[in-house]
Amino acid sequence: MGLLPIQIYPDPLLKTVCEPVEKVTPIIQKLLDEMAETMYAAPGIGLAAPQVGISKRVIVLDVSWKGDKGPRVLYQLVNPVIVERSGSIEWEEGCLSIPEFSQVMKRSQKVKVEALNRDGKKKIIEGEDILAVCLQHEIDHLDGKLIIDKASRLKRKLYLDKIKKHQHTQSHPEVVF
Ligand code: NI
């Protein structure tokens, strides 16, 4: 197992609509495990396959994890679909693919998601607050939707100008900073 390189905005892959997974094969299980490892190492609370260069409907998340202390509640989900949503909540979100950027997002406060788990079994997850927010954020990634899309044109332009400057001075622009 190894860590996967995280794609950084404005990488065009982040804007694509990902393909559903036909079957949870050992290759998909390996992807799920490497994505979890990459998410914990980042560290982050969620990661979607397009963020590691794979255009498949696969996400991992763990909103409970606080470093190496305490238990992990890891979700590894394939083809996740939101089947119910209710309420609304505002959350300031960041994204591993958009370093040093955050955006207040309006989300449903509660969602019900259907997906396949790591064993290819159908699973229903009901989440609220941060779990609901994270599920919506990661499922958005599968449709090429990013939190920066909701920023004003000016905020987006300022951010792009900033990362252009970084790329000039960095020898390894793919590294998360
Ligand atoms: Ni993200």
DSSP letters, 88-125, are -EEEEEEETTEEEEEEEEEE-SEEEEEEE-TTS-EEEE
CA of residue 102 to ligand 1 center, whole Å? 10
pLDDT given for residue 1 in this prediction: 65
Look at 77-81, 101-105, 170-174 and tell me which has the smallest mean pLDDT.
170-174
Q: Classify 175 as helix, strand or coil.
A: coil
More reliable by pLDDT, 163 or 142: 142
Q: Which of 112-116, 165-169, 172-176 has the lowest mean pLDDT?
A: 172-176
Given pLDDT bands bounded at 50, 70 and 90, which one contains residue 70? confident
Q: Return all residues near 100 (Cβ < 8 A) that are at least 6 apart.
A: 162, 177
Q: Is residue 176 predicted with pLDDT exceeding 70?
A: no
Catalytic residues, by residue number, are 138
CB 93 within 8 A of CB 137: yes
Give residue limits of the domains in the chain. Answer: 12-151
The token pair at 152 is: 């004003």
**Interval between CA 93 and ligand 1 midpoint (Å):** 8
CATH class of 12-151: alpha beta
d(CA 49, CA 142): 8
Instruction: Output the pLDDT for position 156.
Output: 94
- For residues 156 and 17, the answer to whether their CB atoms sit within 8 Å is no
